[in-house]
Amino acid sequence: PLSCGIVGLPNVGKSTLFNAITQAGAESANYPFCTIDPNVGVVEVPDLRLDKLTEMVTPNKTVPTAFEFIDIAGIVKGASKGEGLGNKFLANIREVDAIVHVVRCFQDDNITHVSGKVDPLSDIQTINLELVLADLESVEKRIDRSRKNMKSGDKKYAQEVEVLERVKEALYADKPARSVDLSDDERLLIRELHLLTMKPVLYAANVSENEVADADSNPYVKIVREFAADENAEVVPISAKVEAEIAELEGEDKEMFLEELGLDESGLNRLIRAAYKLLGLYTYFTAGVQEVRAWTIRKGMKAPQAAGVIHTDFERGFIRAEVVSYEDLVAAGSMNAAKEKGQLRLEGKEYVVQDGDVMHFRFNV
C-alpha cells in the first residue's frame, strides 16, 4: 500500500501526532494487506461521497479506503553523515511515497527545542539540508558510474548523466530534486535512485492547543507558509496535542469537543486528505448491497489494474466494467434510474478510471 512518512526534528510533536493517528486507527480486519509494525499507522480516508452512497444503497457494511503513515524518528543534524540514526532514517524515507514534515510552531518553555529556540525556517532547512546532502551523494556516485558505462556506447548512460547533472546543479543550490523540470521519460531514467528530495512534501505546522481555531494568527505558521509557497507545497496547521485528545473521543463527545475548539473537523482529517492529494491518488467505489467501499488507485490506471486493487483474479480475468460517475448516480437517485437514463456505461480494458467512478467488474475465474 501507499505510504506517507512523518519526519521532523526531535521534540516537534511527531510521536504525539503519530499516536493520534494510530489511536484514531482503522479497523485492521478490513485491511489485511496493511503492514503490522509499531511504526506504521493505518488511516481511513474520510470521503463524503462514501456516506452519500451508503445512504443510497443501505449496505450491510461500508469500508473507506486507507493508506499508511510511517513514523520516521531520528533525524538530527548530520544524519546524512550517519549521525544519530542517520542511515536507518534515510533508508526509511527512501521507501515512502510522500513526506509529511512536522514543524514546531508552538511555544512551550518546558519543552526543549533542539537548537535552543522555536525557529521553523531553520528547522525546515536543517532537515532539508540532510536530504539534499544524502541525494547529492547518490547522484555523484551514479554520475561516476554512468560515465564509465558510457564507453559501452549505450546512449542511455549519456542521457542519464545529462539529467543527473541538472539534478546535481539544483542540489548544489540547495534546491530539492523535485524542483527540476523533468519530462516523464527523464524522471523514469533516474527513478531507481529513489532520491529523497524527489518525493512530494507537505508541511504540518504544529501549533499550540489554544491556537487551533485561528492557526494563521501564529507568526510561525506564516513563516512556514511563505517557505512552502516557494516550493508549491501545502501547509496543514494542526495541534498534535489536541489531535491526540480528539482521537480518544468518539461520536457526540467528539463533535462537542470539536465545536468547543471552533473546528468543523479534526486536523487529522484535513491532514489525511492533504496527504492523499499529495500522493496523487484517485478513489473509485463499488456499491453492492453487501458492501459499499472506496478503493484507492493511482491517477491514470486502466480498468483491469483498478480491478486488481480488489483482487488479482479480477485483473487477470477482467472482461469489462460497468461504470457510472458518482455525480450521475447521485443525480439519478439509484443504480436502476441511472441505467434507465443510459448513464451506466460498459467499458473495456483500455478505459482509464476516473476519480469518483462507481464500478462493477465482470471477470472470468
Q: Which is nearer to ligand GDP, 15 or 125 (CB)?
A: 15
Number of residues in contact with ligand GDP under rule CB under 6 A: 17
Q: Give the H or E element holding residue 327.
A: helix 326-332
Q: Which of 258, 285, 256, 253 is nearest to 269 (CA)?
A: 258
CA–CA gap between residue 221 and residue 316 (Å, rounded)? 49
Q: Annotated binding residues for ATP, as ranges?
A: 11-16
Q: In the set 3, 5, 7, 13, which binds ligand GDP (CB under 6 A)? A: 13
Q: How far is the CB of 68 from ligand GDP (least distance, A)?
A: 18
Q: Which of 236, 218, 16, 213 is nearest to 106 (CA)?
A: 218
CB 128, CB 228: distance < 8 Å: no
CA–CA gap between residue 239 and residue 257 (Å, rounded)? 14
Q: Which is nearer to ligand GDP, 108 or 250 (CB)?
A: 108
- Binders in 77-116 for ligand GDP, by CB under 6 A: 106, 108, 111
For 314-345, b where at least 16 C-beta lie within 10 A, e where not — what string? bbeebebbebbbbebbbebeebeebeeeebbe
Q: How far is the CB of 207 from ligand GDP (least distance, A)?
A: 6
CA–CA gap between residue 36 and residue 333 (Å, rounded)? 40
Is position 11 an interface residue for ligand GDP (rule: CB under 6 A)? Answer: yes
What stretches of the chain adopt beta strand conformation (E)? 3-7, 40-44, 61-63, 66-71, 98-104, 201-206, 234-238, 281-287, 291-298, 318-325, 345-347, 357-363
Give the range of 13-21, 116-124, 126-134, 323-331 binding ligand GDP by CB under 6 A: 13-21
Q: Which is nearer to ligand GDP, 39 or 149 (CB)?
A: 39
Q: How far is the CB of 274 from ligand GDP (least distance, A)?
A: 18
Q: In the set 101, 241, 293, 302, which binds ligand GDP (CB under 6 A)? A: 241
Is position 208 an interface residue for ligand GDP (rule: CB under 6 A)? Answer: yes
Q: How far is the CB of 108 from ligand GDP (least distance, A)?
A: 4
Is position 323 an interface residue for ligand GDP (rule: CB under 6 A)? Answer: no
**Site mask for ligand GDP (CB under 6 A), range 260-299, x = bound:** ----------------------------------------
Q: How far is the CB of 13 from ligand GDP (least distance, A)?
A: 3
Residue 213 carries which DSSP code? Answer: G
CB 356, CB 326: distance < 8 Å: yes
Helices and strands (DSSP H and E) totals, the chain: 14, 12
Is position 8 an interface residue for ligand GDP (rule: CB under 6 A)? Answer: yes
* Interface residue list for ligand GDP (CB under 6 A): 8, 10-16, 106, 108, 111, 206, 208-209, 239-241
